[in-house]
Amino acid sequence: MLKHSELPQGLYLVPTPIGNLKDITYRAVEILRQADLILAEDTRVSKTLLNHYQVDTPVETNHQHNEHKRLNSHIKRILQGETIALITDAGTPAISDPGFLLVRQAIKDHIRVECLPGPTSIIPALAASGLPADRFFMEGFLPRKKGRKKRLEEVGTRSVTTILMESPFRLIKTLEQLAHHCGSQRPACVCREISKIHEEHVRGSLDNLIETFSQRPTIKGEIVIVIHGNNTTEKHS
């Protein structure tokens, strides 16, 4: 295990499990134990993981509502010689999660920034979809209203595989909109609850996926949608 003196001063982005608590590296646990401070998106969520691995490092919150306010104080602590580990509720910090502002400022101030490899829903969803993975576009969450139609049109014409993240409450609506802009027979895959007990990957045309999920009384869990690129001549339905 690393001794505190062997952990270089700086900012460490530490990916945390998106489901199974075992999906974390030995090195990630070491850094969490040896850091001077852990910044967590929600300390209540992180407590389960930290207690499981007997991490007693002090923890403070860093989320979208306070990251601007606390940014300078975190940078100051690192510049004074401390080491900070940044985690989110699940997955890799700064990827559709808080962290970008802190990383950007740390780089501006010539602070060492290191991101550990680890859990993310994007790559498992892409790999398990069976769709082309040599080139892909990470779309993330679509806008709720303004700009949504334009982004959907871009997905429809994009030639490479696209990865979307979506709420279970908006899944069917989004699939219907994708079918309109991409064509109802465009191959896609809905990945749900990755790394959790009820993990599943439902593959088929967008029409098939709409039919499948419309028959379910409830849809739960984190969802990733993977959509084949536009390399067909099908007209949009």
The residue extents of the domains of the chain are 4-115, 122-227
- Is 180 strand, coil or helix? helix
The pTM assigned to this predicted structure is: 0.86
| pLDDT tens digits for range 99-123 | 899 999 999 999 999 999 999 999 9
Class of 4-115 per CATH?
alpha beta
Confidence of residue 14 (pLDDT cuts 50, 70, 90): very high
List the beta bridge partners of residue 225.
164, 190
How confident is the model over 193-202, as a mean pLDDT?
95
Mean pLDDT, the chain, rounded, equals 92
234 pLDDT above the threshold of 50? no
Tell me what the mean pLDDT of segment 208-228 comes to: 96
* Per-residue pLDDT at 236 exceeds 60: no
- The DSSP result for 22-64, as a single string, is T-S-HHHHHHHHHSSEEEES-HHHHHHHHHHTT----EEE--T
Domain at 122-227: CATH code: 3.30.950.10
Comparing 22-36, 113-127, 220-234, the range with the smallest average pLDDT is: 220-234
Helix axes 100-108, 67-79, angle to 10 degrees: 40
196 Cβ partners below 8 Å, 6+ apart? 18, 19, 20, 221
SS (HEC) of 160-171: CEEEEEECHHHH
Instruction: Report the pLDDT averaged over residues 25-47.
Output: 95
Phi-psi region of 40 (alpha: psi -120 to 50; beta: other; left: phi over 0): beta
pLDDT in tens, 126-139: 999 999 999 999 99
What backbone phi and psi angles, to 5 degrees, belong to 137?
-125, 125
pLDDT on residue 3: 44
**pLDDT exceeds 90 at position 223:** yes
pLDDT tens-digit readout, 140-186: 999 999 999 999 999 999 999 999 999 999 999 999 999 999 999 99
